[in-house]
Amino acid sequence: MTERPEDIPKTLEEMLRRLMESIQPGDTHPIFIGMKIIFPTGGDTPGSGEGSRGDATDLAIEVHRMGDRVVLVTEMPGMPRENIHLLFRDDRIFVWGRDQERHYKGSATIPPAQKGSEEISFRHGVLEISYIPEQGNAREDA
């Protein structure tokens, strides 16, 4: 696929605008959580060597099945509970938190949750989310 130079977005703002304009009616809108920009070695991009812009620590979210519940576990050391945010969206969960010193973000593919079945605990920097999956999504992991 060959792109004409005039078709390549020149700015991040232009790229995001084109992305949002490309969404068709009925499509799911993207969710932007954090951003990381990499300047690869070589080429005509600014910077020398590999670097990144973005201060978020990526979360590893473990997904477990315990009886009739799904249990999600991740570590967010030092984060106050009131700064932690969760979003269930179809078959994904998004977790993020920010305070003066830290910024965490992550997502995982999960069985969709039965609304209202979520139980959340946060102790000693460990976030645990437990829920009952929707009917029809109670498959056993192999």
Each residue's pLDDT tens digit, 30-85: 666 555 555 555 554 444 333 334 567 889 999 999 999 999 999 999 999 999 99
Asked if 51 and 66 touch (Cβ cutoff 8 Å), the reply is no
- What does the pLDDT read at residue 140? 45
- The pLDDT score that the predictor gives to residue 111 is 93
**For the domain bounded by 57-131, which CATH number is listed?**
2.60.40.790
Check: pTM over 0.95? Answer yes or no.
Answer: no
Alpha helices in the chain (DSSP H): 12-21
In angstroms, the CA 57 to CA 55 distance is 7
Tell whether the model's pLDDT for residue 101 goes beyond 90: no
User: Tokens 């605990």 correspond to what residue?
Assistant: 121
SS3 15: helix
pLDDT digits (tens, 9 = 90+) for 15-34: 767 777 777 777 766 666 55
Q: Please tell me the distance from the alpha carbon of residue 4 to that of residue 33, in angstroms, as a whole number.
A: 30
- Spans of all domains in the chain: 5-53, 57-131
